[in-house]
Structure 1
Amino acid sequence: MGMSVGDKGEDAPMSEINTTPLVDIMLVLLIIFLIAVPVVLETVELELPDVAFEPTTTKPENVNISIKGAGGGDGESSVCEVYWGQTPVDSRQLLERGQNKLEQLLEDIGGPQNITEENFPEVHIRGDVNTPYQCIGGVIYTMQFAGFQKIGFISEPAAGSATLGRI
């Protein structure tokens, strides 16, 4: 604490304000708010899934689609190369092949009443890392329109990561 010794005389009013009590009160309020704010914040309780790499079981009836893309920068339209297995296809051929695949499945198993999760084919998409989203999104939409219910992405796990391990 400081004390003012009058230079001008005892009758002159003091023009300086003592701010020490104000600073003390502000520090106390700051500490109260720092303690109270985390208590007031509300969070939504979520149970997040555990991430694990699971090896895919490839069934012969699954459809393997590979997508490569180029272009798409500076207003150019991107060019998508889509492959059904090893055969290049356009979007019309992709839809026709998908519908034909499901029709053939229905014939083979004896009708829609015999469809189970085990015998229904899945679509496995391998997308190049540089493929624009519109290419992959178009293939997903086309295969869903053809009637496929399960569509998954095939990726390579990062080097050094364990299969079925926790991340």
Structure 2
Amino acid sequence: MAMHLPSGRSRGRRAPMADINVTPLVDVMLVLLIIFMVTAPLLTAGVPVNLPDSRAKPLDQEKQPTEISLDEQGRIFIAKEEMSFDTLSARLDAIAAAAQGSEPPQVYLRADRKLDYGQVMRVMGELNRAGLNRVALVTVGED
């Protein structure tokens, strides 16, 4: 029986290796998975931001949106008409009922930067309760 023993004559002639070594690929993927698992919770932590300034481009609109504004004193305006927080709920229900069967209208929410965050969230909660979920926060663009 003959055996093939490596000799000095066949150094330059090797058979091609047909196996793929996937161990380094698996190692890199596991390290990336661990990195993403560790950093993902850190991305949701509170970061100090100045919300009223934005570099976002304006939205293209086909229909006229509903504009809700909150001034520095916390007064609520719907399309330049002042109303109390108690009457806001009924007015938002009427807006949502007018759009029944079609897509809910886009709502632009403008709030003064000095206003308490809780007051803005109360208005957003009423919008959500009325079913007006297409809300865009209006900011001032940076030049």
Whether the TM-score (by the shorter chain) exceeds 0.5 is yes
**Distance in 1 of aligned mates of 2:96 and 2:107:** 12
Partner of 1:56: 59
1:69 maps to 2:77: no
Kindly, what percent of the aligned residue pairs are identical?
A: 15
Asked whether 1:143 is paired with 2:137, we answer no
The structure number with the bigger radius of gyration is 1
In structure 2, distance between residues paired with 1:85 and 1:156: 19
* Matched letter for residue 128 of structure 2: Q
* Change over 3 Å in CA distance of 1:57–1:93 after alignment to 2: farther
Q: What's the CA shift string for 1:5-61, capped at 9, x where partnerless?
A: xxxxxxxxxxxxxxxxxxxxxxxxxxxxxxxxxx9xx42178x9xx96121234544
Aligned equivalents of 1:153, 1:65: Cα separation in 2:
10
Query: What letter matches 1:82 in structure 2?
Result: I
Partner Cα separation in structure 2 for residue 52 and residue 157 of structure 1:
5
Quick check: 2:68–2:77 contact (8 Å CA) kept in 1?
A: yes
1:89 to 79, 83, 88: 83
Q: TM-score, normalised by structure 1?
A: 0.51
Is the 1:66–1:125 contact (alpha carbons within 8 Å) kept by the matching residues of 2?
A: yes
Residues 126-137 of structure 1 mapped to structure 2, 5 A cutoff: 126-137=110-121
Show the counterpart of 2:138: 154
Q: Give distance in 1, aligned partners of 2:104 and 2:131.
A: 11
- Separation in 2 of the partners of 1:58 and 1:126? 17
Cα deviation for residue 94 of structure 1 reads 1.3
Inter-partner Cα distance in structure 2 for 1:90 and 1:60: 26
Note the residue ranges of structure 1 that are not aligned, 5 or more in a row.
1-38, 71-79, 107-111, 160-167
- SS of alignment partner, residue 87 of structure 2: helix
